[in-house]
Amino acid sequence: MTRYCANHDGNHAGRLNICASCARKFREALKSIAVDTPALLLITTRQAGTGGNDHTGVRSRSAHAPLLIREQAWELYCQVEELVRLAALQCGYPPAARRTASVPELVRGILKGDEPLLAASDAREWWRDVVDMAGRVNRMVDPPATRVAFGACPFCKHGVVWGAPRAHMGECRSCGAQVNRTYVADRLLDKLAESEKKGTPKQLSRECAKAGIRLPAATIRTWIHQKRLTPDQHGHVTLSGIVPLLRRRAG
């Protein structure tokens, strides 16, 4: 009788209830957990950060501070340890009963003989739990880079150019074009320069936001106060009137 992978990805690998590809991914996920968990602990205790502006360290907070750990990271670590310890117990690894056994040590024990997990009737649940946990830990330790929208793509109709906050180049998610952010900004300003809309500082700030330009209403009010913008009798200013000021600010 032909048996199939519990994940429906292919045939079983030997006596396992998952295929060879899934078994390989399962073991890679375990290895990833073993590598990332020490870093997760450092992040939890604020001895390491996940970004360039995260100036954390053992001396960065008072010893009497109410929270010396990152709660979210600590909760994740507890979940990791619980899952790995249960898996090690399922595999009959003796150190799993020892409270001082570390996650990397338990993972090494599981990898020596993971057949009790992958050949079990609930192999699919074990596979999903481990692979999902590895992804969560990796995202906590190495979060994806922040991306911001630069504006509309000049090369396609509905594309938006995205890039790192301080990057000069961005990429359109629709057509894949590499676009300089200043070119995107110039096109946006050209469109605003042709606009006949007028309104209050708050309304113009909203219009700029729709075009992909962040311009607080307070900035427009400051320009009015400095006589750099002249409102009409209703307190409205034109959208095209702020374009030269935006260009000057960008330059």
**Alpha carbon of 116 to those of 7, 10, 28, 137, 184: distances in Å?**
17, 20, 17, 24, 57
Residue with tokens 């999902």: 132
Give the HSE-up count for residue 28: Cα atoms under 13 Å, Cβ half-sphere: 7
Radius of gyration of the chain (CA): 28
The structure tokens listed for 171 are 């990429």
Pairing of strands 237-238, 178-180: unpaired
The pLDDT tens digits along the chain (251 residues) read: 245 565 666 555 567 778 888 888 999 999 999 999 998 888 888 765 555 544 444 334 444 444 466 788 889 999 999 999 999 999 999 988 888 899 999 999 999 988 888 888 888 889 999 999 999 999 888 887 777 777 778 788 778 888 887 788 888 888 888 988 777 767 777 777 778 888 888 888 888 877 667 788 898 899 888 888 888 888 888 888 888 887 777 65
Pairing of strands 198-199, 169-172: unpaired
